[in-house]
Amino acid sequence: MAAVRDRKSGGPGKEPIAVLGMGHVGLPTALGFAELGWQVLGADDMVEKIDHLKTGKATFYEPDMQELLTKHLASGRFQPTKDVDAAVAAARVVFVCVGTPQRENGAADLSQIESVARTIARNLNGYKLVVEKSTVPASTAERIKRTIGRYARTETPANGTNGRRAAGKESGARFDVASNPEFLQEGKAIHNFFHPERIVIGVESDQARQLLEDIYRPLKCPIVVTDLATSELIKHSANAFLSTKISFINMISDICDAVGADVASVARGIGLDPRIGHQFLSAGIGFGGYCFPKDLKALLYLAEEHGVPGGILRAVEDVNLRRIEVFMDKLRHALWVLQGKKIAVLGLAFKPLTDDIRESPALRVVEELLKEGAAVRLYDPEAMPAAQQVYPEAPGRVDYCRSAYEAARGAHAVVITTEWEEFRKLNWKKMQEAMEVPVLVDGRNLLDPSAMREAGFEYFSMGRGSRQVAMTASAK
Ligand code: UGA
């Protein structure tokens, strides 16, 4: 973690930094700024969220976050507030971290961004730098500019505004809009904040650039300075490219299953080429979460809206949607009939180290199992409270268990749907003893196939020749 600097003056200049939106982006970002030494107002109009934070408890699980929250509530450098207007009025730099969910047609729903722009316009009491951090389609910053200009003018009629510079409540109030996309990964958000590979800033003035460079100065990494639309597009392109890598390796994984090859070795073999790289080449049940599926759709929508064929992005999405079917086929192949079987599902979060279940492939597996009449015994180290909201406990059909061992009790198969480290370290012999039938379907390629087979499991995984091996074994 970066060393704490004691900047008695607060944010750059005398004012605090305002972070609007205390969700998965806003809260780690606000706490990160506080740790860098800035005075931060964390604003959200969801009263319960702010009340929760004020009691000193993090609103969601993220490694190291609770520690930072406790530290900076105590240091006074992080102040949660439900008064968004007052936070904007007090700050010179305002980071916009509100949600940009998906509309039915795939486009991003920017209503929260628009609402924040109007709030900023209402409170334009001096120069402000408005920094768009939420993931948004290219050209959103232009719309934010237009909205602030328009509403600021409405609040205080004609005061010699010219485009970007709008008249606010006070004479001469000006603003800049900048784009500064976040690249935080859930489960590593705090680490990512302090160790970024790059910081991207899209700016239109030296003042905006200077302010952002000052804020981030303690973090040592390249800063990419661009115009607004380019910066916005960098974020969408990064997520789309990473999703593409995952779908690519997943397609290769299916070919590996068909020809008896090993996808992990293929990934290693291609990943050693630095032009390809090792990361994001883990085959499995596909990508989920609040970002990849939604951002892919939004970029596809943007492309097609502008007449650019989005074929490659559509293919990435199609491959991803098919992953659950591929996984279910393996389970059906192993158990023949799923109706009436007990399946232990290990992992509900969309990935490890988070309690986030949004767009989780694991939950899609649960849904399929229930549709086929199987009973599910669920375990996840962090995500069970969230999952219970979607699939309430129904004894004998949906059971939440206190451990993986409890989930395995009487199960006809164990499936791994999230690659928590805890599952790798399980005593698999003990797991097997608790099960009715020793079938293990590893949707995340977490375990070593030969070790599992030696331990007596019928073990299936994704693209590691498991189907052939199992078929050969059962033919003997
Ligand atoms: C992603 C990006 O990685 C971040 O850089 C970005 O800031 C963030 O979206 C965002 O836009 O806010 P995140 O959604 O937290 O971060 O999670 P990832 O670690 O990227 O994983 C996404 C999904 O891909 C997970 O379901 C994961 O299991 C899956 N995945 C990842 C694979 O199936 N295979 C891989 O090799 C890697």
350 lines ligand 1 (CB under 6 A): yes
β-strands 375-379, 342-346: how paired? Answer: parallel
Same domain, 164 and 26: yes
Has residue 384 been placed in a domain? Answer: yes
- Report whether 84 contacts 119 (CB < 8 A): yes
DSSP state of 149: H
| Domain termination residue (choose one: 169, 199, 226) | 226
**CA separation for the pair 128, 166 (Å, rounded):** 11
Same domain, 367 and 308: no
Same domain, 126 and 37: yes
Q: Which atom of ligand 1 is nearest to the CA of 135?
A: 11
288 lines ligand 1 (CB under 6 A): yes
Has residue 136 been placed in a domain? Answer: yes
CATH number assigned to the domain comprising residue 305:
1.10.1040.10
320 lines ligand 1 (CB under 6 A): no
Indicate which residues carry an active-site annotation.
291
Same domain, 327 and 309: no
Q: Which atom of ligand 1 is nearest to the CA of 354?
A: 15
- Report whether 356 contacts 24 (CB < 8 A): yes
State the burial class of residue 157 (Cβ atoms within 10 Å of its Cβ: 0-12, 13-18, 19+).
exposed
Same domain, 312 and 366: no
Q: What is the tally of structural domains in the chain?
A: 3
DSSP-assigned letters across all residues of 404-467: HHHHHTT-SEEEE-S--HHHHTS-HHHHHHH-SS-EEEETT--S-HHHHHHTT-EEEESSBSHH
This prediction's pTM: 0.90
Q: Which atom of ligand 1 is nearest to the CA of 419?
A: 28
Same domain, 343 and 377: yes
Interval between CA 366 and ligand 1 midpoint (Å): 21
Please name the residue whose Cα sits nearest to atom 22 of ligand 1: 287
| Domain termination residue (choose one: 162, 196, 226) | 226
196 lines ligand 1 (CB under 6 A): no
SS3 199: strand
Please name the residue whose Cα sits nearest to atom 2 of ligand 1: 185
Same domain, 284 and 427: no
Please name the residue whose Cα sits nearest to atom 24 of ligand 1: 287
Has residue 8 been placed in a domain? Answer: no
185 lines ligand 1 (CB under 6 A): yes
**CA separation for the pair 78, 69 (Å, rounded):** 8
Same domain, 121 and 257: no
Please name the residue whose Cα sits nearest to atom 8 of ligand 1: 185
Same domain, 363 and 256: no
Predicted confidence pLDDT, tens digits, the chain (476 residues): 333 344 444 445 578 999 999 999 999 999 999 999 999 999 999 999 999 999 999 999 999 999 999 999 999 999 999 999 999 999 999 999 999 988 888 888 999 999 999 999 999 999 999 999 998 988 999 999 999 998 886 544 333 333 344 434 444 579 999 999 999 999 999 999 999 999 999 999 999 999 999 999 999 899 999 999 999 999 999 999 999 999 999 999 999 999 999 999 999 999 999 999 999 999 999 999 999 999 999 999 999 999 999 999 999 999 999 999 999 999 999 999 999 999 999 999 999 999 999 999 999 999 999 999 999 999 999 999 999 999 999 999 999 999 999 999 999 999 999 999 999 999 999 999 999 999 999 999 999 999 999 989 999 999 997 544 444 444 33
Please name the residue whose Cα sits nearest to atom 10 of ligand 1: 291
| Domain termination residue (choose one: 282, 317, 352) | 317
Same domain, 27 and 161: yes
**CA separation for the pair 243, 320 (Å, rounded):** 9
239 lines ligand 1 (CB under 6 A): yes
Same domain, 121 and 105: yes
Q: Which domain holds residue 288?
A: 236-317
